[in-house]
Amino acid sequence: MSKSKRNGGLRFQPAGGSRAPQVPVGKKQRLNIERLAGDGRGIAFVEGRTWFVSGALAGEEVEARVLNAHGKVVEARLERVFSASAERREAPCRHFDRCGGCNLQHLPHADQLELKQRLLAEQLQRVAGVAPEHWAAPLSGPEFGYRRRARVAVRWDQKARKLDVGFRAEASQDIVAIDDCPVLVQPLQSVMRHLPLLLRSLAKPQVIGHVELFSGTALAMLVRHTGTLGEADLAKLKAFCVEAGVQLWLQGEGEPAAVEADQQLGFELEPWKLTLAYRPGDFVQVNAGVNTAMIEQALDWLAVQPGERVLDLFCGLGNFALPLAQQAAEVVAVEGVQAMVERAAANARSNNLNNVRCFQADLSQPLSASGWATEGFSAVLLDPPRDGAYEVVRKIAALGAKRLVYVSCNPATLARDTLELIKQGYRLKRAGILDMFPQTAHVEAMALFEVG
């Protein structure tokens, strides 16, 4: 916001009269919720404004408190329910009314899946004008105890002289004090219960930036610090990790580093007897069970034959590339970050897969300039970030692949890229959701495209 707006300075008004007064933060409003938005919040309309109310369900009459307001959009959080939806359940987590992490706990898991399925279908129809020839059943697992990675917020309150430890509140920089989180895998729940007391016992807790927890082939804790850790504080951190059976990693100015240099961290893909090494900061899917089911479905849909060459774009650590390499004659794995390319290649070598070639490329640009793109492929797998893969898919038919699996973490960009693939002669054969983040409105999806 500009300084003149903050201080009430002079500014031009739009034609048609003066601007309506803004809705103040903290104001409470009685609302009738008409439907759910794509992010799971309830939508209501009052005096020309659209209200987005977290914690509310369609058909409910509620009281909501304003968190933020801009223009004709008001963001609010549920305060009271006057008339509840038949779908509403008691949120299992006691921090639900404040924590900004899991915003759908008040909706039964089956209804969460139905909501995500509907959001994907609406995006495909609205943007690309298509529905898949076949809807796949949702891939899901346990609705709690699934998350194998978590970032814990830490902030020193100078005025109160205390350390806040927990997760961010919704639409706020406030930290909700949390020492238990039911979506974490069980071993991390144990670490989380004791973490706040440990950090508050440090002589200089104000140098702690944040803490990340990991569960894989080992448990690990990364401590990001903005100043020098004293010897006594470092000794406390080490002792805690030894007692909890957790690797200690530290990150100051440079890259994360294990305190014990020989320690290794990774995750297993059990159906394929593969182990992939990673370091804190690398991207890994947080839900191990759904990740395995996702890979199995991708391999089933691509149906790679022994003599075929496969292209894996946005390959990361090799999550798809290595299982694909057990079926294909050759896998070309491409990633934008050179360090990740090197780790994917190392993972292929450590698993004795000699038919994986790894390359670095700017995947926000067309592929035609890359030498490996001219060799031709039978099948392609894409697993892009939220921005999607528009530039990549614009000319992807030139690769010659008859089958393409697109794994998406954003239905909007999947729908946009689907339209581009259809223009190139691909048909949307199958699609379905991947419930990677139960209790949240985050939608992951998989789509199969075939030529002809």
pLDDT per position as a tens digit, 191-226 = 999 999 999 999 999 999 999 999 999 999 999 999
Burial class (CB in 10 A: 0-12, 13-18, 19+), 98: middle
Report the chain's mean pLDDT, rounded to a whole number.
92
- In this predicted structure, the answer to whether residue 13 has a pLDDT above a threshold of 60 is no
Q: Is 314 annotated as a binding residue?
A: yes
What percent of the chain stands above pLDDT 70?
A: 95
102 is in an annotated binding site: yes
Query: What domains, with CATH codes, occur in the chain?
Result: 27-88 (2.40.50.140), 114-142+287-451 (3.40.50.150), 149-258 (2.40.50.1070)
Known binding residue 319? Answer is yes
Residue 245: Cβ within 10 Å count = 11
- 241 assigned binding-site residue: no
Check the annotation: does 383 bind a ligand. Answer: yes
Q: Is 174 annotated as a binding residue?
A: no
Please give the biggest Cα pair distance in the chain: 72
Per-residue model confidence (pLDDT) at position 10: 41
Distances 418 to 82, 363, 380, 421, 422 between C-alpha atoms, Å: 42, 17, 14, 5, 6
Please give the positions annotated as active site: 409
Query: Is 181 annotated as a binding-site member?
Result: yes
Strand order in the sheet with 42-46: 28-32, 61-70, 73-83, 49-54, 42-46, 35-36
The annotation status of 358 as a binding-site residue, yes or no, is no
Q: Does 233 belong to an annotated binding site?
A: no
Is the pLDDT at 63 greater than 70? The verdict is yes
Which tokens is 277 given? 């090494």
Q: How crowded is the C-beta side of 184, counted as CA atoms within 13 Å? A: 22
Angle value at C-alpha 166, between 171 and 443, nearest 5 degrees:
55
Q: What is the pLDDT of residues 409-430, one digit of tens each?
A: 999 999 999 999 999 999 999 9
Residue 114 confidence (pLDDT): 94
- pLDDT confidence tier of residue 2, bands split at 50, 70 and 90: very low
pLDDT for the residue 18: 52
Output Rg (C-alpha) for the chain, integer angstroms: 24
Per-residue pLDDT band for 20 (boundaries 50, 70, 90) equals low
Q: Is 387 annotated as a binding residue?
A: no
With contact defined as beta carbons under 8 Å apart, do 418 and 428 qualify? Answer: yes
